């Protein structure tokens, strides 16, 4: 148990200590975030905080993980991804270039023998993926690499959700007896926690793509490695459930933009945090509410590893129905004119 404590503490302490230094570096090299109509912050904000997360996280991993060779693909892929993230935070590279870097980082993991070759169905039988294993693993890692990035819209939101998610993933890996992977999950949690002190509202620094991509990439990769080592599909299910909030938010964003005839990749202000702010919640209230939702999903994710598969399916279906209902009420999957009507309805009624 001592190794787990060190995994968290080392990452937390180093990230906490060097974040102010990284903040000054970000300002010096021009890695700053400029406000626009879609963003909620005002003024220039340094955004290279992900580098502090990476340094604290990697120092902890190299100190606590016993078999470093077994995670070499993860380490090298993380270095590539962080390099791409720094490049983007400084120069604002195009989405295609960024996606290429993400794919390269995912391919590195696969080249080191980490790919999902089979999954278990609810009846305990194995489904062999064959040649589909490689592209599906790459798609899985790249998809999750972008999930945290898409939810990074309020001070402390991505860091806090990642912290909670990593703790849930750690709990599952601990139950599976995967000591090294559990250390990695705790190291990432510690780094996110150390950074959160400077990123919670009012934020002094943003993690930028350097941090958000690293967080999503690492959670995806350790879930794949857990599935490879134990043949337990649940290691893939847990991150889906615990990160259900950003996953559903992204899904609703795609649906919303489609029904409004806008490009899927064009940003808007219909994300869940935007809608919560529109309801009158402060940034802190919205973030804390989303923390609570993520914690609840984390508990459900851990519970899924222990219950009958029918109960698990029913539980996930019930949560999905509730989320769709709430998203509809918030206007996350509505037409723009319907949202505008809701905004004007109270004032019209008052005038009448």
| Domain positions in the chain | 2-351
Alpha-carbon gap, residue 6 to 62, rounded angstroms: 12
Q: What is the DSSP letter of 124?
A: S
The predicted pLDDT at position 322 comes to 85
The predicted pLDDT at position 218 comes to 95
**Contact assessment for residue 226 and residue 181, using Cβ atoms and an 8 Å cutoff:** yes
Q: What is the DSSP letter of 115?
A: -
Alpha-carbon gap, residue 70 to 94, rounded angstroms: 33
> H helices of the chain, where?
2-29, 49-64, 72-91, 95-111, 133-151, 157-176, 179-199, 208-230, 234-242, 244-259, 272-278, 283-304, 309-330, 336-351
Q: What is the mean pLDDT for each group of 10 consecutive residues in the chain (352 residues)?
A: 92 97 93 65 78 97 93 96 94 90 96 80 63 89 88 88 94 88 96 95 92 94 79 73 86 82 73 83 90 90 76 80 81 63 43 32
Residue 253, Cβ density class (10 Å: 0-12 exposed, 13-18 middle, ≥19 buried): buried
Alpha-carbon gap, residue 275 to 110, rounded angstroms: 38
CA 8 centroid distance within chain: 18
Q: Whole-model pTM? A: 0.86
The predicted pLDDT at position 349 comes to 33
**Phi and psi dihedrals of 84, rounded to 5?**
-65, -40
- Bridge partners of 33, per DSSP, are 45
Rg from Cα positions in the chain: 20
Alpha-carbon gap, residue 221 to 137, rounded angstroms: 9
**Contact assessment for residue 301 and residue 172, using Cβ atoms and an 8 Å cutoff:** yes
The predicted pLDDT at position 306 comes to 76
Largest pairwise CA distance in the chain:
72
The predicted pLDDT at position 50 comes to 94
The predicted pLDDT at position 324 comes to 83
Q: What is the 3-state secondary structure (H, E, C) of 215-257?
A: HHHHHHHHHHHHHHHHCCCHHHHHHHHHCHHHHHHHHHHHHHH
**Contact assessment for residue 30 and residue 261, using Cβ atoms and an 8 Å cutoff:** no
């Amino acid at each position: 148990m001592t190794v787990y404590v060190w995994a968290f503490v080392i990452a937390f302490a180093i990230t906490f200590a060097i974040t102010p230094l990284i903040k000054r570096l970000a300002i010096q090299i021009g890695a700053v975030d400029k406000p626009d109509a879609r963003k909620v912050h005002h003024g220039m904000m340094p955004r290279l905080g992900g580098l502090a997360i990476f340094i604290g996280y990697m120092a902890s991993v190299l100190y606590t993980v016993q078999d470093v060779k077994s995670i070499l693909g993860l380490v090298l892929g993380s270095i590539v991804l962080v390099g791409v993230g720094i490049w983007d935070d400084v120069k604002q590279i195009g989405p295609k270039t960024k996606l290429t870097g993400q794919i390269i980082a995912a391919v590195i993991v696969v080249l080191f023998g980490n790919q999902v070759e089979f999954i278990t169905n609810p009846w305990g039988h194995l489904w062999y993926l064959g040649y589909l294993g490689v592209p599906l693993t790459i798609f899985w890692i790249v998809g999750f690499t972008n999930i945290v990035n898409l939810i990074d819209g309020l001070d402390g939101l991505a860091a806090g959700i990642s912290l909670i998610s990593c703790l849930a993933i750690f709990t599952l890996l601990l139950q599976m007896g995967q000591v090294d992977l559990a250390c990695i999950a705790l190291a990432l949690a510690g780094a996110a926690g150390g950074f959160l002190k400077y990123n919670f509202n009012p934020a002094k620094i943003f993690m930028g793509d350097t941090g958000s991509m690293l967080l999503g990439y690492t959670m995806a990769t350790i879930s794949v490695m857990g599935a490879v080592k134990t043949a337990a599909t649940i290691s893939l299910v847990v991150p889906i459930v615990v990160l259900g909030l950003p996953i559903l938010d992204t899904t609703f964003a795609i649906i919303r933009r489609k029904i409004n005839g806008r490009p899927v990749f064009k940003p808007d202000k219909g994300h869940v945090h935007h809608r919560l702010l529109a309801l009158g919640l402060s940034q802190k209230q919205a973030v804390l509410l989303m923390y609570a939702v993520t914690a609840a999903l984390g508990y459900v994710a851990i519970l899924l590893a222990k219950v009958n598969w029918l109960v698990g399916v029913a539980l996930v279906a019930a949560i999905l129905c509730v989320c769709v209902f709430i998203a509809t009420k918030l206007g996350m999957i509505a037409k723009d004119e319907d949202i505008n009507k809701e905004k004007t309805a109270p004032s019209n009624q008052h005038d009448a």
